[in-house]
Structure 1
Amino acid sequence: MKRHILSVFTALMVLLGAISCEQKAKEDNLINKKKMDSTDSLPIKPHESGYADVNGLKMYYEVYGEGKPLIMVHGSFMTIPMNWAQIIPMLAKDRKVIVAEMQAHGRTKDIPRAFTYANMADDVSGLITHLKLDSVDVLGYSMGAGVSFQMTIRHPEQVRRLVILSGVYKNDGWWPEVEKSFETMNADMFKGSPIQQQYDSLGNDPAKFPEFIDKVMSIDRKTYDWSKEVKNIKAPIFMAIGDADGVRYEHALELFRAKGGGKMGDMNGLPKSRLAILPGTTHIGMITQPDIVIPMITSFLDSDLNTAPPTF
């Protein structure tokens, strides 16, 4: 079993490396093209970035585009470019995209505070207040999905719609082998990976990398169940998982049924919330297929949520 877990995370690190290399190749190609044609543009850059003082953190954030605000919360161990490099350019075409790095991640340095979903949710709420926004759409991936669930539970007035990518609202929402792997995950599995490289490159003490991994994993080594609170969320929810993801199908279906799913839309009208199970898609694959995922997200965010059944 241990060998299997190691192989899973070796594959994960290889895929993360491929993401980074692919993005670097795209940027190099754009730069080379720039030299030949002055009309070509460089990779998208934020029009605003900085540090927000929230709950004792100096939280790093970036803002792209204009329009309805959407804040996106990254997964475990990730940074803005690693999680969102392929996604920001597509979503920022017609909306304001806000991205931040959570406690101990990227350019947001750690503080002597418990690492919890609730604390990170309050940090996201504080960033929204810092940016003088009344309400936003919230999108969370993996760990960020848990943060986004808690954000919507704890600060419902700030959330218009909620998008959950490959995330859970109770610890046994993961497949049993995935949940079991959390107990044995350690820094050795990430040795030489893009995650360790980015940690070292941002001025962190390399000797504290094992402590970083353990702290981030600590939230998923505890039992939690937000089922009641999540099912009572008033904001419409779009939940997407891969058919080869780490999230149990039944877990996603349970929430969808609680939000009005499980009925024939032609007879009863469409529920305000949505569910997607993407074919041939793994956990990491969820963020490496923007051409598939982004149209679903924008359709949900831009819909008028007319639930009436069609007339003939």
Structure 2
Amino acid sequence: MKRLQRTATFLKPIVFIAILMITTSQSNGQTVKPSSSGYVPANGTQVYYEIYGEGKPLILLHGAYYTIQLNWGQLIPKLSQDRKVVAIELQGHGHTPYSDRSLSRTTLASDVEKVMDYLNIESADVAGYSFGGQIAYQFAIQSPKRLRKLVIISAAHKTAGWVPEVTSGFKKMKPELFANSPLQAAYDAVAPDKSKWTKFLEQMMALAGQPFDLGDDNIAKIAAPVLIISGDNDGMDKIELAKTYKLLGGDHSADLQPMPKSQLAIVPGQSHVSLMRQTDLLKVYLENFLK
């Protein structure tokens, strides 16, 4: 804890708070074991997946530096009660091995489609949190026929979607600040090669520090219904978020014209990380939207 406090002035709150909240939440709540798990050959690497429950498929994509359990462990037992939940670990995360291949959102979204092919899933609902939400957006853009509905939790489709403090924080992150953190402990517990931890961090941080934009025109072309969930203080620029919702057909008077197919939920009193701890609320949002 003293090490975390010493580095707090350098790390932006979004990173420091994430580490603290993971520390206090790892053992809370119900857990379930996957009915099956394994690896899928995808674009020159192996992608790890876990399956829970039965029913219509729902694919979960975690945030940066997380594992399936760190991100979704408290929500999977609720979602898998009446859904087939397929949770994926992205390149270098968790069980999925580190790879020297170029790290790009396009490739990661293609990995998701490869997993669907392997599991004989023609189309699915997709939910992504933070970095996983970026990949979910990219999946919707490049694989529209494979998508039913899209859920984006605290994620932007371009750099301008974050407040300046967050983008500045991304540029200042360094691997040594994560040493001996709960994030590293989770990685060490399941990674096929623990020696790749620093290379994995460097790869992810390099990508995070680069400006990106998936394109407003591409977002506007998403035909699937989209649910955007954001904490009121989660680091997302709410003006840009409103613009994104408008691109998806929202932001008009539903008393005067049909209700839009997409939805926007702003959850009060929540940060980027604390939002994912509101499992009962998220379950209600997802179930009402996906049913």
CA contact 1:171–1:220 (8 Å) conserved in 2: no
Distance in 2 (CA, whole Å) between partners of 1:130 and 1:204 is 21
**Secondary structure class of the residue paired with 2:255:** helix
For residues 291-310 of structure 1, the aligned pairs below 5 Å read 291-302=280-291
Deviation at 1:209, TM superposition (A): 2.5
Is 1:239–2:228 an aligned residue pair?
A: yes
Alignment: residue pair count: 283
Q: Give, in whole Å, the separation in 2 of the partners of 1:204 and 1:46.
A: 19
- Consecutive unaligned residues in structure 2, runs of 5 or more: 1-6
Does residue 160 of structure 2 align to residue 172 of structure 1?
A: yes
> Residue 207 of structure 1: CA displacement?
5.1
Q: Is the 8 A contact 1:10 1:189 kept in 2?
A: no
Partner of residue 54, structure 1 = 42
What is the aligned partner in structure 1 of residue 16 from structure 2? Answer: 10
User: 2:124 is aligned with what amino acid?
Assistant: V
Give the alignment of 1:65-76 within 5 angstroms.
65-76=53-64
Q: Secondary structure at the match of 1:138?
A: strand
1:1-312 equivalences under 5 Å are 4-6=9-11, 8=13, 9-23=15-29, 43-203=31-191, 208-226=196-214, 227-302=216-291
- Native 8 Å contact 1:86 1:290 kept in 2: yes
Separation of aligned partners in 2, 1:180 and 1:140: 23
SS at match of 2:74: coil
> 2: CA distance between counterparts of 1:200 and 1:45?
19
CA offsets, 1:17-60, max 9 Å, x none?
Answer: 1121435xx6xxxxxxxxxxxxxxxx422111111111122211
Distance between the aligned counterparts of 1:3 and 1:197, measured in 2?
19
**TM-score w.r.t. structure 1 length?**
0.86
* CA–CA separation in structure 1 for the residues paired with 2:283 and 2:235: 20
> Within 2, Cα distance between the matches of 1:68 and 1:295?
17
Aligned-pair Cα RMSD in Å: 1.6
Structure 2 residue aligned with 1:29: none
Under a length normalisation based on structure 2, what TM-score does the superposition of the two structures give? Answer: 0.92
Higher deviation after alignment, 254-263 or 167-176? 254-263
Q: Could you tell me how far apart the structure 2 residues matched to 1:297 and 1:205 are?
A: 35
Identity of matched residues, %: 35
Structure 1 residue ranges without an equivalent (≥5):
27-42, 303-312
Runs of 4 or more above 6 Å deviation: none
Change (3 A) 1:254 1:290: same
Select the structure of larger CA radius of gyration: 1
> 2 CA distance for matches of 1:131 and 1:102?
16
2:3 maps to which residue?
A: none
Quote how far apart the aligned CAs of 1:3 are: 5.8
